Chain A
Amino acid sequence: MPENYILKAEGISKSYPGVKALDEVSMEMVPGRVLALLGENGAGKSTLIEILTGAQKPDSGRIYIQGRERRFNHPIDAKSAGISVVYQELSFVPELTVAENLFITRYGKAHSPFINWKKTFEQGRRAIDEIALSIDLNQKMRDCTVAEKQQVEIARAIHEDARILILDEPTSALNDKEIRNLLDNIRSLKKRGVSVLLITHKLEEIFSVCDDVLILRDGRTIAQKTITETNADELVSLMTGREISDMYPSRQREPGEVLLSVRGLRSSQLHNISFTLRRGEILGVYGLMGSGHLELGMTLFGCGKKTTGEVLLEGKPLSMRAPGDLVRNSVAFLPSDRKLEGLVLDQTIRQNIFTAYYELKGSEGWIRQKKERANAEKWVADLAIKTPGIENTAASLSGGNQQKVVLAKWLETNPKLIILNEPTRGIDVGSKTEIYKILDRLCRSGVSILMITSEMPELLGMSDRILVLHEGGLSAVFEGGQVSQNDIMVAAIGGTPT
């Protein structure tokens, strides 16, 4: 039996001061099969990957590669055992070409101090052909899209004879077409006998490409199952430890009068967009890559191109020259990348909650520590942010809790309108439902929400109305609750709904 496994881990435990990150975790990987690693944020997935790739040493437990026990003291040890990892944050030298980046780890092993570029290119071409990628080797890395960078990283791993490839949430920053492409790449890796460990929050991906699934919860192995033996509901309840019957709050809200009205908004990326948003309403915005849906959010928050047209908030023209103008007018903006755009990661939760507050018109120019502490404590309790205390850094939190801190930062400014950009990207199912509940509560208290999202279930589940954009223009407006996924897709690609 052991011969069949390419990787087998037994009883892996790892503790950090105050936290047991992993508790007797076991797992198995088989050549040519894709294993999904599933778990809420904080379940121990990252720690497990760090141990498998030699970035961390386990407190106890054994790792066998092809039946032989291995100890990884350094990432190089794991690499030489055939384990490669593609992280969410991709590591490249942006000014070098694809070919140069592809071989960056191999220069050192060359027999000669000089680089044979002809040979390098031949090898690069072969590595790329092998998994049917289509990238220009002469392209500079900084000109590549995220999807292309990922492909380069995968090609690099294959070139280095990786037999086990770990993909850490590879689809979180890709569009639909790129996701399909990536899943095809994974299938061709399977055919080559590579074992893939796929970390993802998206259940549809698991069912389309994975063979087995490993579920972690609170640092423990909950189950390792063959995908055909299970279904989505079971996976969710195994992952969260509870049945989730209603992911989205009921939509019986009663929007009030018009808060925001946009008439004929134009810029180099937006064409004549008009819509209204009422108090206590969630207006969903959907569009494919390049449709202008992201630009709409940025423009309304004062980070877009020059515009013409009329934007009124409570009947008064809204200045949109810089985010500061909007903050002073009680508009908030939740960016899609909370780590780079939402939080100062190495500052405290309290400080992060109070980064936007002092930009308000009526706010004091002086900081009152007592008030800061009291309000921060209040938000931590209100939004159920899981942390030992408000003086911990934002970096110490899991993704879902980080997102709640970004929310708290804006709620502290007491906004009338919140623009959300991908509010639950990369967040586990449990935290998602909590965030949905918070948003619902806000709406009921009269806050208006403009929600830009590429997640269809969220769009359909949360929106009172839905705007669909296509090529920078408004393609359709739907009432929430009465529209199908299909109608939205048709509108998004520019067709007319039937």
Chain B
Amino acid sequence: MNLKRIKSLDFLPLVLAYILIIVFFSLASPYFFRMSNFLNIALYAANIGVLACTMTLVIISGNIDLSVGAVISLSGVVMGLLLQKGLSIWLAMLACLAVGALTGLYNGFLIAKLKINAFITTLAGMQMFRGLAYILTSGKAITLSDPVIKAIGRGYSLGIPNAVWIMLVMVVLFSLLLKYSAFGRRVLVIGGNPHVAFLSGINVKKNIIGIYVLNGLVGGLGALIFCSQIGSAMPQNGVGMEFTVISAVILGGASLSGGKGSIVGAMFGALLLGTLDNGMVMMDIQTYWQDVIVGLVLIFAVLLDVVKNRKTVFAR
């Protein structure tokens, strides 16, 4: 890769900012710059990184999904209940993924076929899915002790957390899908201009539904990782997670108006948010201030993008 191509990467400023943050925390805290701490960060960021893969597709297609956190809650709870009923672990995990995919199908159908605004549809979905999770469990947590589940989120292979392996595989898989598959190209065209996509023969509705089903499916995978990491399935799982995922995707260079985004960038976005979190805890920064700082970082990143785009418009 030559210098010009590196320069054209949308998430380049993010990587630079990331390096700056690492340098800063390393100077600020003696415990920060250690292999064990980096693995900690990666472990924390892994779930966000996994979810960000398909969220990037959703956002590139010009849509949004606010229901991810609630999908994590609902599919986890369904898995927990099935395990309680004595279902085998593999079938229960499959059910977890299936519930995720079903929520995606529901969202996608409403958005593509019934033309309900994606924000509204998934905002409603966010309420409903979590509501269902509360109804199913009467608000109680289900402890998960199965070794297979434990291994997903807390196990290590070759010295690296399994969750991080999962994230890496997903990032590679979806990056390839976006760049080298006809499906990926359709997502880009639909996000760039849905009308042009339709007039080019692309079945826009089918593809939008497909994107949401994928996002739901990956939500189910996120539920597996999440439940494993906290050791239980409960309706409160994943509260607010959709915002962290969307933030990671935006930090990674995606545009909310669609047509543009990077999955590798989104992974760096997730890592950056994880690092910030970790570093601020080490520096003993008050939780409330942590929220303010994360918000500022997001605004700063988007601002950078706006300034960059403005330059290119005027350079024409």
Residues of chain A having any CB pair with chain B under 8 Å: 16-17, 301, 303, 322-324, 326-328, 333, 335, 340-347, 351, 354-356, 358-359, 363-367, 369, 395-396, 409
Would you list which residues of chain B between 164 and 194 have a CB under 8 Å from chain A?
Answer: 179-186, 188-189, 192-193
Contact indicator B181/A365 (Cβ below 8 Å):
yes
Give CA–CA (A409, B259) in the complex, Å: 18
Chain B residues positioned under 8 Å from A354 (CB to CB): 185
Contact indicator A340/B195 (Cβ below 8 Å):
yes
Give CA–CA (A363, B201) in the complex, Å: 13
Contact indicator A359/B196 (Cβ below 8 Å):
no
Give CA–CA (A392, B202) in the complex, Å: 23
Chain A residues positioned under 8 Å from B200 (CB to CB): 323, 327, 355-356, 359, 409
Chain B residues positioned under 8 Å from A396 (CB to CB): 316
Contact indicator A323/B185 (Cβ below 8 Å):
no
Give CA–CA (A356, B196) in the complex, Å: 10
Contact indicator B316/A358 (Cβ below 8 Å):
no
Give CA–CA (A409, B316) in the complex, Å: 24
B: number of interface residues (CB 8 Å): 25
B24 at the interface (CB under 8 A from A): no
Give CA–CA (A318, B199) in the complex, Å: 17
B315 contacts which of A17, A346, A409 (Cβ < 8 Å)? A17
Contact indicator B179/A367 (Cβ below 8 Å):
yes
Write the B199-214 contact mask toward A (1 if CB under 8 angstroms, else 0): 1111100000000000
Write the nearest CB–CB distance from A135 to chain B, whole angstroms.
29
List 19 A-B pairs, Cβ < 8 Å.
A16-B315, A16-B316, A323-B198, A323-B199, A324-B203, A326-B201, A327-B200, A327-B201, A341-B199, A342-B196, A343-B196, A346-B192, A351-B188, A355-B200, A359-B202, A365-B183, A367-B184, A367-B185, A395-B316
Q: What is the number of contacts between chain A and chain B, taking CB atoms within 8 Å?
A: 83
Contact indicator A358/B315 (Cβ below 8 Å):
no
Contact indicator A344/B193 (Cβ below 8 Å):
yes
Give CA–CA (A346, B188) in the complex, Å: 11
A324 contacts which of B185, B195, B196, B202 (Cβ < 8 Å)? B202
B82 at the interface (CB under 8 A from A): no
Chain B residues positioned under 8 Å from A16 (CB to CB): 315-316
B184 nearest CB neighbor, chain A only: A367
Give CA–CA (A126, B76) in the complex, Å: 68
Write the nearest CB–CB distance from B59 to chain A, whole angstroms.
16
Contact indicator A344/B201 (Cβ below 8 Å):
no
B197 at the interface (CB under 8 A from A): yes
Contact indicator B182/A340 (Cβ below 8 Å):
no
A363 nearest CB neighbor, chain B only: B182
Write the nearest CB–CB distance from B153 to chain A, whole angstroms.
33
Chain B residues positioned under 8 Å from A366 (CB to CB): 180-182
If A344-B196, A355-B196 touch, whether A365 touches B182 (CB-CB below 8 Å) is yes
Chain B residues positioned under 8 Å from A395 (CB to CB): 316
Chain A residues positioned under 8 Å from B180 (CB to CB): 366-367, 369
A340 nearest CB neighbor, chain B only: B195
Give CA–CA (A359, B203) in the complex, Å: 9
B201 nearest CB neighbor, chain A only: A327
Give CA–CA (A396, B197) in the complex, Å: 20
Give CA–CA (A356, B181) in the complex, Å: 14
Write the nearest CB–CB distance from B254 to chain A, whole angstroms.
14
Give CA–CA (A364, B27) in the complex, Å: 52
